[in-house]
Structure 1
Amino acid sequence: MLRTLISPSITRPLTSNKVVARAFSTAYIQRQAVTATEDKSYTHILTETKGKVGLITLNRPKALNALCSDLFTEVNQALKTYDSNDNIGAIVITGSKKAFAAGADIKEMKDNTFVDTYKNNFLGHWAEMIEIKKPIIAAVNGYALGGGCELAMMCDIIYAGEKAVFGQPEIKLGVIPGAGGSQRLVKAVGKSKAMEMILTGNVNLNASEALNLGLVSKVVPIDDLVDEAVKTAGVIANMSQPSVQMAKEAINKSFEVPLSAGLRWERIFFQSLFGTADQKEGMNAFAEKRAATFTNK
């Protein structure tokens, strides 16, 4: 089972720090106007709020959380709900102890034709999650194969349980990764290892290997994984949200634009944050040797 996503690079024109600050402020106000409530009617996922953290659990245990189209639609809906909720500052996505996601739902896609997949932009809706402004942490236990590995890589941080397994075996099905595997994996583990994994379909990374290669940030005991991810998400959620979200966008820009353009984006974001109350609070708190209290303004 595997799945995929085509993640388009989105490059916006460079602008002044005042325009960036005003645009961020407008977007923030618009999100405040949205009354977001969790939808309890999901079929393939579970959602839960833990303090300022939104938790999404993939819930197709009999299929090892195979990523059918409807499941990913629900993931997108939950992510957008959390993104528009001002009480939430970060999001965690996890699966079961046996499988984060064993891949895409092969039974769902096996009879597709080229015309169908092209006209309907098959898997295109997976790309919606890269537009989420709030940081997303993947808490990966068990199998993260094919689309499961790609889903994890679409998140901003990956924590792995001790028995996690990462791989891209699509070649065995006569296809290639289609949800970013050939693009994101090489940036995470290097060309040679990515080529070996994708071209053979046989080489999977265990948690320790994934950590050593830089695919994951931390390896955690299985039973502690979700709590550790939620803990880190909570730390992020208590930071200034304008700073957090601009930092996320600046880092993602580094994969999309030349270094000179990325440096300019970083500098503009940095300058723009001097128009926020949180910058004043953060720097004054440092000077006064006290903890900062951010208001996300």
Structure 2
Amino acid sequence: MEILQTAAELQARTEKWRQAGQRIGLVPTMGALHEGHLQLVRAAAQENDVVVVSIFVNPTQFNNADDFRLYPRVPDADAALLAPAGCTVLFLPSVEQMYPRPTVLTFDFGPLERVMEGAHRPGHFNGVATVVSKLFHLSRPHRAYFGQKDLQQVAIIRQLTADLSFDLDLVAFPTVREADGLAMSSRNRRLSPADRAMAPQLHQALVLGAAALAQGQPAEVAQAAAAQHLAASPGISLEYFEVVDAQTLQPVSGAVQAGQTVALCVAAQLGGVRLIDNLVVPA
């Protein structure tokens, strides 16, 4: 595995691969890798000739300075995990490499970004779209791999890919969970032992809400039941629990219609650590 730190090096390498007819898989990450990331890398290695994994904690997608400062950074440990998983090139740029000058371009994804994460983290998806666009241009992948835990992010990137005619396939993998149901996340490293023990309640609330929907209960009842469940867990501060259309991510009201796919989405704070999760039903 080779480690590259400049945009010019990555562009030169991917241009060489393209000219040789090799297919490129890209796995964009912010590091602090876990099994969910590694599943993406293994899949990319199986489906492509070469694999680029980027690790870049992108400042433009954080609207909380402490969250950016405290985000886990363990590049040496990450590199040790990536080589056996099938990574060809680890792209490890500095902020100056990714943003040689301040960006002034802004993205507007319409209703897709005015709900949930977009509503609670203003500017977040503009930062995501900016850095992903840069990574697409630099690595010129045939396929790009993302985790379904970030459901709204995947939808945003899918729209970005279509609207800007990026010539690549977007591959989304199901959420990978711990044995107790907690969605794997780099932020889990920041949880105290007590908060880590409480964190699976987020997934339990999703399962509870899904069960209510399966029984024909309205979305509002499912939301209330999930919120009540989380309210019984001291230390969990609920930001939102939404039942949305799985494609448009717009809120659903009333009973779920036959054949309709919905997503239950939750965001909450535990001890100053913000976690998100979702459950798509029917899966």
- Both structures adopt the same fold (TM-score exceeding 0.5): no
Which structure features the higher share of helix residues? Answer: 1
TM-score range, shorter chain: under 0.3
Name the structure, 1 or 2, with higher relative contact order (CA <8 Å, separation 6+). Answer: 1
**What TM-score do the two structures reach when normalised by structure 1?**
0.24
Per residue, is there more strand in 1 or in 2? 2
